[in-house]
Amino acid sequence: MIGIQLPVQVAIKLTSWPTNGKSRIAGVSSFGFSGTNAHIVLEEAPSHQVKNQKFKVESQNVVERPVHIFTMSAKTEKALADLVNSYQSYLEAERNHKDLGDICYTANIGRAEFNHRLALITSEHEQQELIEKLKQYKQGENVPGICSGQITSQTKTKIAFLFTGQGSQYLQMGRQLYQTQPTFQKIIDQCSEILGKYLEFSLLDVLYPAQVKDETSTLIDQTAYTQPAIFSLGYALAKLWESWGIKANVVMGHSVGEYVAACVAGVFSLEDGLKLIAMRGQLMQQLPSGGQMVSVMASESQVIEAIEEYSSQVTIAGINGPESIVISGNSGAITTICDILKNMGIKTKQLQVSHAFHSPLMEPMLTEFEAVAKQVTYNQPKIPLISNVTGEEVGAEITTAEYWVGHVRKPVRFAQSMKTLEEQGYETFLEIGPKPILLGMGRQCVTEDVGEWLPSLRPGIEEWQQMLSSLGQLYVKGAKIDWSGFEKDYNRQKVALPTYPFQRERYWIETKNKFWSKQQLSTDQNLHPLLGQKLNCAGEQQIFASQIGEKSPNYLSNHRVFNQALFPTTGYLEIAIAAGNHQLKTPQIVIEDLTISRGWILPAGELTNAQTILTPTDSQSYKFQIFSQLEEEEWKLHTTGKIRKESTPPPQTKIDLEKYKSECNQAIEVKQHYQKCQQVGIDYGNSFQGIQQLWSGSNQALAYIKLPEELITQTSDYNFHPALLDAALQVISHALPPTDSDQTYLPVGIEQFKVYKNPGLSL
């Protein structure tokens, strides 16, 4: 036998459990007569002092930030509403008893994050303001400081950092952050120390002069100081965002802003970047003045033609939009060109600049600047970087002195750069700079209504207020925030907060209908509210299954014909579009030859099984059938049609709305429209009363349509919400010749329907 000594003691009676300074561990076994066989290892709980330990920072004299962000999330809209109520009651009871910073810290860092999200921006120490924001959110008020949204499978969280260029500078930019944000302050101080080798006055004196009329108060507008100041602020903002978990998937800068973008992407070090930009600014400052820069509201081809005769003196300095071109060069030549453009009816605007940047007047500095650029150590970008010189993603070519010398003279291709970002699928743009200049220009360069455009700073708004407002928007859009990094510069302590409001749903397994057995359902569930889940079936056919009822989704009960809930034609269209999107992997879908052979009555209080069956006709198209089945009944075919991928690009020409307004000049009372529908047996409830304004003309009609407020939160779940599209179909009745007939007409087929993108909330 082998003797084994274990450092354990078997308790056979009530025994004290002394501590020796180490964590105490016990094992509990259960071997029962009925077959119980279990063992659990327990460790003593952490001490109360450890549990309530504060989130410590190195400095104990940190100035508290003046604004906080409070976030919450839930799995459903109802759960989020319940959570809002819980927090309102909690805050009203705990008013002034707990630190607001600790409440926000615990809510942000101590809760799981779900898809239905809410972020509130509130002032320091003001719990009453947070209570009011919760009330305003419940009442649906659209006020600053409230951000809400739902994350779906279509939500894109790729972020593009846009770095602002020269012309955005102003005194005191970033001062509030410098005074109350240690990470930001540390980086600005670091930049100031490095720039001390190159600048006569310190960066801090340039940014934050002691007196407004101090001799340093005008330095911010001198090119030698402007460029390093913009670089330093942009770099500090970028690093602050990164410390909060907001990291760029791609970077792009406008002119001077590209130096910051390159530094953030790792093309050169901070020391080399500041040296390069400081020397660039000084060499430009030493050039004689006398040049001009003018913004021209015309196309690039028009401007090229206008300046052709003066090409040795004037060049295009920037292409900022389809009809936003900047020219730069000799003042006399610029004045002559502007007179020519004015006679052509083209608007121009002189820019307030010290020198004619990106023009032939820059050439005297290029040789000396090249010598400086050759002293820099370059690396391949570690983050994708869009070049202003080419308008495309850049690689090894940016790691040469020649690139940065050419950057001084060549035009800024901002419009093409934005197009490249759009083509790469970017829809979230965060401007890194003192004011939002690039956001407005960027909107003009991409498809209309595309993108989330967020500034870092905005003059006239407190810096913390703007930063946290943009952070809140990023949070509700699905960005992953590093809340520990966000709070690392401040003393925080966890406090007790309301728990998650579980919805207590019943999950009883119904075995009556074997079709719905779990084994038959694929793991690709919850594709769409109407299309449902994709079944795992053999063969080439693709089958989707769902359960639909009068109140599932709830808006269907608002579509009634002769007092019965009737599944709308637009519902069939939406099912087909969703199925097409899933199978063809594109939002651009064409539905053809849709035929409704039987109406789908939705019985009260009972769910109907539904199946959508796709049969491939080739690699780019399917035939579809939509069936329904009540318990113990046969399957009924309702709709057939074809789905294919749209091969032609979306139309680029905009609708001449003014033309249609002039032709449809007879206003129709919206209330009268719905009363007339009711008279012929079609009863549209609130969810299907989307028409806001209505006009008619000769065999045509025009309307402003908006999705009813109670359905707004559902928009992201649909490609084209059936209630919104149904309102559009309602308008057709006013384009038909008038008739005295009181007959009821319902759609029985659609020859062709094309979808290019989600229309959003209104038409």
For tokens 């720039």, the residue is: 195
Angle at 451 between CA 450 and CA 453, to 5 degrees: 140
391 and 258 Cβ atoms separated by less than 8 Å:
no
Alpha-carbon span 353 to 716, nearest angstrom: 45
CB atoms within 10 A of CB 329: 27
Q: Of 235, 243, 177, which Cα lies nearest the Cα of 208?
A: 177
155 and 477 Cβ atoms separated by less than 8 Å:
yes
Alpha-carbon span 515 to 540, nearest angstrom: 20
- Stretch (H or E) spanning 602: none
Query: Is 559 part of the annotated catalytic residue set?
Result: yes
Q: Of 303, 305, 327, 304, which Cα lies nearest the Cα of 314?
A: 327
Residue among 205, 489, 726, 734 flagged as catalytic: 726
Whether cis (ω within 30° of 0) applies to the bond prior to 553 is yes
CB atoms within 10 A of CB 357: 25
Pairing state between β 159-163 and 250-253: parallel
CB atoms within 10 A of CB 577: 24
For tokens 């009676």, the residue is: 13
155 and 478 Cβ atoms separated by less than 8 Å:
yes
Q: What is the DSSP-derived secondary structure letter of residue 289?
A: -
Q: Of 480, 478, 457, 482, which Cα lies nearest the Cα of 468?
A: 457
Q: What is the DSSP-derived secondary structure letter of residue 712?
A: G
Residue among 407, 559, 673, 734 flagged as catalytic: 559
Q: Of 673, 675, 602, 682, which Cα lies nearest the Cα of 636?
A: 602
Task: Give the start-end residues of each E strand in 633-699.
Answer: 636-645, 666-667, 682-684, 691-697
Question: Rg of the chain's alpha carbons, rounded to an integer?
Answer: 32
Q: Of 435, 460, 445, which Cα lies nearest the Cα of 412?
A: 445
CA dihedral 532, 536, 538, 544 (to 10 degrees): 0
Those residues whose C-beta lies under 8 Å from the C-beta of residue 612, and which sit 6 or more positions away, are 531, 532, 543, 544, 545, 575, 576, 579, 624, 625, 626, 627
Query: Is 726 part of the annotated catalytic residue set?
Result: yes
Which two structure tokens, joined as six digits, stand for 481?
A: 């925030």
Pairing state between β 589-596 and 564-565: unpaired
CB atoms within 10 A of CB 451: 20
Residues in the chain: 763
Alpha-carbon span 209 to 198, nearest angstrom: 19
696 and 734 Cβ atoms separated by less than 8 Å:
yes
700 and 734 Cβ atoms separated by less than 8 Å:
no
Q: Tell me the residue type at 135.
A: K
DSSP track, 98-158: S-HHHHHHHHHHSS---SEEEEEEEETT-HHHHHHHHHHHHTT---TTEEEEE--TT----
188 and 204 Cβ atoms separated by less than 8 Å:
yes
CB atoms within 10 A of CB 514: 8
Those residues whose C-beta lies under 8 Å from the C-beta of residue 377, and which sit 6 or more positions away, are 268, 269, 272
Pairing state between β 250-253 and 146-150: unpaired
- Burial of residue 747 (CB within 10 Å: 0-12, 13-18, 19+) is middle
361 and 391 Cβ atoms separated by less than 8 Å:
no
Indicate which residues carry an active-site annotation: 559, 726
